Amino acid sequence: MSSDNPLLGNAPLPAFSKIRADDVVPAIDAILADYQRGIDAIASPDAPRQPQSDAFDRVMLEQERLDQRLARAWAPASHLHAVADSKELRAAYEQAEEKITDFASALGQNRDLYAAVQAVANAPGFARLARPGRALVEHAIRDFKLSGVALEEPARTRFREIASELAKLATEFSNAVLDASDSWHEHIEDERDLAGIPESGRAVLREYARERELGGWLVTLKQPAVQAVLTYADSRSLRERVYWAYQTRASDQGPDAGKFDNSTRIEKILALRHEAAQLLGFANAAEESLATKMAKTPDEVLAFLRDLVARAKPVAQRELEELRDYARNELGLETLESWDVAYASEKLRLVSYALDEEQLKAWFPLPSVLDGMFEVAGKLYGIAVEPARDPVDVWHPDVRYCEVRDAGGRLIAGVYLDLYARSGKRGGAWMDVCRARFRDGDEMQLPIAFLTCNFAPPVKRTSAEGRPTSLARTAGEGRATPGESGGARDEEIQPALLTHDDVQTIFHEFGHGLHHMLTRIELPSIGGIDGVEWDAVELPSQFMENFCWNRQALDLFARHWSSGERLPDELFDKMLAARHFQAGMFLCRQLEFALFDFLLHAGFDPARGARVMETLEAARREAAVLYPPAWQRFPHAFTHIFGGGYAAGYYSYLWAEVLSADAFAAFEEHAGASGSVIDAATGARFRDEVLAVGASRPALESFIAFRGRAPQPDALLRSYGLAS
């Protein structure tokens, strides 16, 4: 193997500009071969018995070491695939990814490795290991058990059969939803039929028509089309047809009844999940799901959801009455049908809570949002986030690299910011790990994060001659200033302006980034976000979003891009009012989905089958204020739980929101004393007890250590405007 492969280097930061598609597969091949040799040595039954500390190092630390070597190559390669893709890179990525997936699944089924890890746990002195070390071993054993490797025959083979059957069914389920969505469309040739739909929505429909080489407009079941029609179309019958087609996708109902029907797949998925859970010793799939979550028992989850129902439903009922009255009196809709709800709500929102997002953007120039975000984090956690002092190798000129230093000025972490949309870059926003904090003997690898967004780049307006110039270079550099060269004086440079939604997005992802970067755990598998219960992993990110709704924090960064004026009170009040609009109905809908998902998995009885519609009906009786028509088949396209990883886990969204709102409330309570919600003492406690500890102890323990008590939902209800 040639040593000049940039993916095999050991430098603190990857050499992005040197990485070529051709480097990926050879690097991964070489690393996986070494990895396998390392595992064989660890897992060999003849490995010498050693004292406890040596056993931990030989088995656990060595695995971390092998895994980090892979991560140092794979993190930059897969990141480039996501943000600077090419045909060659995609091909290399796919090939390498398959190798890594196969390798990981063989590792999870390695009985000798499992025995070696168990031997570490059983050795005398295990209890004297430091907490992170014990947590690492316990997590490893738990994951081996959940993968079925601990089972004896014939259960082990049966478990593997079920796992592969379930993977197949999940893919089939999602494909049926996609096929059903593609199958239905309605061609519109008379623009009058689109009355009410704004130009942006019509453009989408026109594009769908063009794709099929049609004139006019094509209403499809793709999300933007459905949303445009249901929210804006004045034609009630068009709304009804779209709702009918959309809400019966892949089912026994609707225009394609029976054609892509997921009914049998749902039955099979639930039965197999139940059987697999029982093989592992759980009562049902809901109990199995909780093995990796903060909530401990199905009863705890159900009590959590039902408590929220009790508080949210009366508010939702009032909101629905208001909507019905409005629809009847102002829109002439005698009965409010399911296909009227989004339409009437939008009209009501406009008259009562109108907020012009475009106008609001002027107060959120990206450079100032970034500065403010770093300032909030700096004040909270006693850190400084600043552009790197020396040049750093990046994959695109827009990318900025910032260093994080502690109060003593010591470098503790770094973060790449890649914030603008461009071609070859995947959509959306996310935080990803570039390097994890890892101590190996005297060597310390510092945590490095990728923060990726897809904001609209800055625009340069020229008053006279239009000389287009890329100015996508303002991130992390403070407010953009006009060019220094002569003759450019008449130009006004407008920095990238964010919507308030964008601002929340970047705070959210930066929250994940802080969780990763401020960890003090030195074993990567349980440091930062890794290994954290996944109903708790959104706590640090959603926590940061709260600052986007807080006057004191907003005053740090919500400044008009040209006048520097602070966000006017009138606009701030409108923002809050709009946030609370129909919050009760929104919450009840989430609760209905979460209850349905959880009851379905917790209450499965092989003798009685899945009882999908019956369970949905039960969830609705508890949580819903709005009843869709009997032919509605929402479960048949519920890919979160049947095609994705959210089975018996949909409640996690709300669970994490309760945690983050309650954590933020600790800062609000303290603001009474210190006058500022950006309180350093509370921030230090949050950093020490929550952010720094990763998965080295249960999330509940960390939360209680920070808050002094278990989480309570009151703060969440307050933030929704639902507190009495």
Q: By CB under 5 A, name the binding residues for Zn ion.
A: 538, 541
Q: Which of 319, 509, 538, 622 is catalytic?
A: 509
- What's the full length of the chain, in residues? 724
Alpha helices in 603-638 (DSSP H): 612-623
State the minimum distance, in angstroms, from the CB of residue 529 to Zn ion.
9
**Distance, CA of 347 to CA of 344 (rounded, Å):** 5
Read off φ and ψ for residue 377, nearest 5 degrees: -65, -40
DSSP 287-317: HHHGGGSS--SHHHHHHHHHHHHHHHHHHHH
Is residue 553 within 8 A of residue 547, CB to CB? The reply is yes
**Distance, CA of 235 to CA of 52 (rounded, Å):** 73
Instruction: List Cα–Cα distances, 617 to 269, 594, 628, 716, in angstroms.
Output: 20, 13, 10, 27
Is residue 649 within 8 A of residue 289, CB to CB? The reply is yes
Is residue 5 within 8 A of residue 92, CB to CB? The reply is no
State the minimum distance, in angstroms, from the CB of residue 493 to Zn ion.
32
Which amino acid type is present at position 415?
V
423 burial via Cβ count (<10 Å: 0-12, 13-18, 19+): exposed
Instruction: List Cα–Cα distances, 368 to 225, 253, 258, 397, 543, in angstroms.
Output: 35, 52, 54, 20, 20
> Which residue's Cβ lies closest to Zn ion?
541
- Terminal Cα-to-Cα distance of the chain (whole angstroms): 67
**Distance, CA of 690 to CA of 711 (rounded, Å):** 13
Is residue 633 within 8 A of residue 247, CB to CB? The reply is yes
Which amino acid type is present at position 526?
I
DSSP 650-681: TTHHHHHHHHHHHHHHHHHHHHHHHS-SS-HH
Q: Taking the CA atoms of 712, 723, 656 and 381 in sequence, report the sign of the dihedral they define.
A: negative
Q: How far is CA 420 from the centre of its chain?
A: 19
State the minimum distance, in angstroms, from the CB of residue 678 to Zn ion.
22
509 is catalytic: yes
Query: Which residues neighbour 425 within 8 Å (Cβ) at sequence distance 6 or greater?
Result: 82, 83, 84, 85, 418, 452, 454
Query: Which residues neighbour 205 within 8 Å (Cβ) at sequence distance 6 or greater?
Result: 188, 194, 197, 217, 218, 219, 220, 225, 228
Read off φ and ψ for residue 558, nearest 5 degrees: -85, 85
Three-class SS of residue 43?
Answer: helix
Tokens 């909030």 belong to which residue? 376
Three-class SS of residue 181?
Answer: helix
**Distance, CA of 502 to CA of 361 (rounded, Å):** 10
DSSP 46-77: TPPP--HHHHHIIIIIHHHHHHHHHHHHHHHH
Is residue 114 within 8 A of residue 144, CB to CB? The reply is yes
**Distance, CA of 382 to CA of 376 (rounded, Å):** 10
If we measure between CA atoms, which residue out of 145, 147, 146, 143 comes closest to residue 135?
143
Is residue 526 within 8 A of residue 69, CB to CB? The reply is no
Q: Which residues are catalytic?
A: 509
